[in-house]
Structure 1
């Protein structure tokens, strides 16, 4: 009887091991590695810039808060997202006696308790069309959102995109949105990514360094493309990520520089022009479609897609 017991135990052990192996293989088959992000067409992003420039030219030359060009910009982006299958909503707020608008776009699915959010401000200053600042971030984010829909991405986290109003007047739109959330809803946002000026004509490659995990997703991607990066220290408190950071949400993002001057060292590693501003048309009337570096716009748009795919899986 002892011999039979030993044989039975050994047989049972072998069977259990086999079942575990089969179960593991089935689990691997059911949970494949996340697909890589698609290459984002810079031509498509540039077309959005042309459309937003046309909106500005048809509405007094700008897309500023309280002006018809801003509402027309909201309508353009919303139309693209609605057509792609997003659930969109427009949040209104008041600033200076004028109605402002935030556009929020939800991609159906993913855990409602674990939200990855990405945003860009859509308004310009009153002096111009604001194509680099910040049609560039808005257009890059829009094209990534459309790629999410085209690829029918099924992330484990819930994806939420946003286009903010009245950033140029002091982060008004994003502050309004964050303050509209109760603690429970705010706590569901695991990370917020911000994209403000991603096509500067004399570009730097700056990555927000407020959160190491979110920073690494971007720096690793740029390193694989052999593009050196620097921490985006000059963005501290200057764009919409600050609204989220102040509320305790982890933040990250990208930036190619504003009115600050590029140094000799930076020019050497980015093949830029030392002694000139990253964006010579910052907050000026000349911030039009010619005020864009297509290579920077392309690289940053692809980096946005990589982060969305990587962080939402």
Structure 2
């Protein structure tokens, strides 16, 4: 997840303030139910992918940052996995901060090509470390949900498009490049974009993106994610992440957006600690943007729940 930076002068619409919004899982209207039962994604498989991301970082200078060999090695690894699963993959190249960056796009060859549900998260780390919670967790969770789509040979009503963004940590540059270069006719086909950035914070919170002030249709995405957490008995809070992650470019372009987040450098309150069995007064992720953001910096329960939330949302929104 990015921090606000001087790049807001270049991309002002993408850098709103981060504000916590009071609220829980209550939905404005009943969420739709999936026509096909969503799978339970084995958390051990997601953790195995985190191990691969750690290995890639270890073999490439300790990070997977933009402009560094670990970033390209990560993209190559993901593309090889997705190609083997039968996805149609595209690597979009762009330039940022004097270096080449890459977005990886993977389309599932089924569903209505005129109505596209998109799910994504950033794949780069900061230079300081391997970036396993930020954002190996979202990266790995999306890959394993994509694997479940392929293993079930899912035939959704909507076309499914997965994305792994580059240069998020420099100011959401990869996703911004994608949206800015997407033809208007293709942009109009996007029925929604779901973002998953930091889904396994050690002192985990359970935040769902607030639809307030977002494009029309965002409430359906929020309600769907909250409907999953309702099945687990976990109470969520709505959060306005503003311009801190890759949903921002889509929202600015009028695409409905949603997502989940388990917290970064902010501190957990007493009320949240009681609700989520966490530790009050400590950061949600004490290793945020540090070298200690390794495979040991992940809450397995939060990772499991949030990855299953990705699958639930996909199966609900694409098959109902």
Q: Which residue of structure 2 aligns with residue 89 of structure 1?
A: 90
Q: Say if 2:110 is the partner of 1:102.
A: no
Distance 1:178 1:292 in 2: 31
2:271 alignment counterpart: 265
1:149-183, Cα deviation, whole Å (9 max, x unpaired): 00100001000000000000000000000011111
**Divergent runs of 4+, >3 A:** none
Extract unaligned runs of 5+ from structure 1: 1-32
Report how many residues are paired.
Answer: 280
The one of 250, 256, 259 equivalent to 2:256 is 250
Matched, 1:232 2:233: no
Q: Does 1:204 align with 2:205?
A: yes
Deviation, 1:35, is: 1.4
Q: Secondary structure at the match of 1:150?
A: helix
Alignment of 1:266-281 (within 5 A): 266-281=272-287
1:155 corresponds in structure 2 to 156
Quote how far apart the aligned CAs of 1:237 are.
1.2
CA deviation map 1:108-139 (0-9, x unaligned): 01111100000010000000000000000000
Q: 5+ unaligned residues in a row in structure 2: which ranges?
A: 1-33, 212-217
Of 286, 289, 293, the match for 1:283? 289
**Equivalent in 206, 218, 225 of residue 225 of structure 2:** 218
Q: Give the secondary-structure state (helix, strand or coil) at the position aligned to 2:103.
A: strand
Q: Which has the higher helix share?
A: 1
How far residue 87 of structure 1 moved from its aligned partner, in angstroms, is 0.4
TM-score w.r.t. length of structure 2: 0.87
Q: Secondary structure at the match of 1:148?
A: helix
Cα deviation, residue 223, structure 1: 1.1
Please report the RMSD computed on the Cα atoms of aligned residues, expressed in angstroms: 0.7
SS of corresponding position for 2:222: helix
What is the CA deviation profile of residues 259-312 of structure 1, one whole-angstrom value per residue up to 9, with x for unaligned ones?
000000000000000000000000001000000000000000001000000001
TM-score norm. by structure 1 comes to 0.89
**Counterpart position of 1:12:** none
